[in-house]
Amino acid sequence: MTRRLFGTDGIRGTANSEPMTPETALKVAMAVGECFHNGAHKHLVVIGKDTRLSGYMLEPALTAGFVTMGLDVVLVGPLPTPAIAMLTRSLRADIGVVLSASHNPYGDNGIKLFGRDGYKLSDELELKIEDHLAKGPIRRAVPAELGRVKRLEDAGGRYIEFVKQSFPRGLRLDGLRIVVDCAHGASYKVAPTVFWELGAEVFSLGVSPDGLNINRECGALAPEQMQREVLARRADIGIALDGDADRLIVADERGVILDGDQLMALIATGLARSGRLSGGALVATVMSNLGLERFLAGQNIELHRTSVGDRYVVEKMRALGCNLGGEQSGHIILADYATTGDGLIAALQVLASIVETGRRASEVCQLFTPVPQLMRSVRFGDGQPLESSAVQRKITSAESRLGAGGRLVIRKSGTEPVIRIMAEGEDEELVAAVIDEICGAILAAGAGTEDAPTRPARLNPAQAAE
């Protein structure tokens, strides 16, 4: 069955347009309540959000839907997505809900759902919710059994302590100068506090949300301001989070950007040296650079690839018994501590490597040279452009020309009507040429309406997770 509402990361759309309307949010909450009703015990839902203005519209609608179905609701306000996953488990809630569109601009919003175990819901459960949504509620709570609502005032403090416990015992950040860009998003209070309480001198950016400035020219998607601040402050490292703080991008003391592939290589080798890399492997997506794969092979670490989306990374990690996985875009999952990508926990693992070695970030964090990798996007309307015989011939030809020393990944975005074409290989001119030819074939088929410029994927890796 095809999913109609859920994409690769929950439900997402333009705020106050379907499906991101109060009416649909209400119905979604009621469908979730119907789906997760299990016996006579009082059910509990945790609802968090980022700093988008539309969160104040959608949060009451979700709350009303859950209360209608007899579920109690705990509101925690603006907190990172991984904080909601943690609190869902900690409070023994039945479901966790995050209102966020991650790295997207303020005009978008989304609904992400976590189960009682703190993991994102499976495709099967999302289909079940959609089925209940189509049928409408079978039952509603009688007046005496309506849910109740309360705010958890210490939610931020709980999460701060949870994150700090992931930092190696006995280590401190004393003497380190850290720039942290919170993207005017959900981490604007908790992120600077975590680093400061561990001893660092912290220079904060993106900590003045106004409902409209989340991810605007800041954060993981636009780290240029963070890079400049690192140089201006003579900082040891810069950390840029996205709007819901489930991913990060790092800059070393020279202002050089380090994406998720470099950070995963660093963490993986550190875990392997200490005998703590479960399964002797890293799980990453098809978008991770071939240079990462080659580097890991040289370290006797296996790389398992998945479809794009951190949920698929987590699913494979659980299936294989691995404790480390992530995406080039900066989602990094450390299963020993968290059930989903957590930018702060991942940042602390990077900082631990710097503290333990006593070396600069530039000496510690860049472990391999990426293979030239380019990505281009074509926006399309109706139809199935990838099924065109002309497009298929270009794809086959490109794979042959790239050969064993290159890779080609073509896929539809999970959040918008866009086809993404990624190619990599030792010959950058060849890589660019095959992408041009495939995009041209899609446009010639009459399906393309907008062609985004070619760019190195690693310079703006957050896009690769859509």
Q: How many contiguous H segments (helices) and E segments (strands) does the chain have?
A: 14, 20
d(CA 280, CA 272) in angstroms, rounded, equals 7
Got the DSSP string for 280-304? GEEEEETTS-HHHHHHHHHTT-EEE
Sign of the Cα torsion 6, 11, 15, 16 reads positive
- Give start and end residues of each alpha helix (H) in 358-402: 361-364, 389-402
Q: Which pair of tokens denotes residue 168?
A: 């190696």
Q: Which pair of tokens denotes residue 254?
A: 């020279």
8 Å CB contact between 351 and 258: no
Q: Which pair of tokens denotes residue 405?
A: 């020393």
Instruction: Give 137's DSSP letter.
Output: -
Instruction: Give 368's DSSP letter.
Output: S
- Annotated active-site residue in 54, 102, 288, 353: 102
Selection from 371, 394, 373, 375 nearest residue 443 by Cα? 394
Q: Which pair of tokens denotes residue 173?
A: 């950040």
Place of tokens 């200490």: 274
209 preceded by a cis bond (ω within 30 of 0): no
Burial class (CB in 10 A: 0-12, 13-18, 19+), 220: buried
8 Å CB contact between 242 and 250: no
Sign of the Cα torsion 172, 167, 87, 62 reads positive
Selection from 18, 14, 10 nearest residue 84 by Cα? 10
Instruction: Give 130's DSSP letter.
Output: H
166 is catalytic: no
Q: What backbone torsions phi and psi does residue 62 show, to the nearest 5 degrees?
A: -60, -45
Active site residue ranges: 102
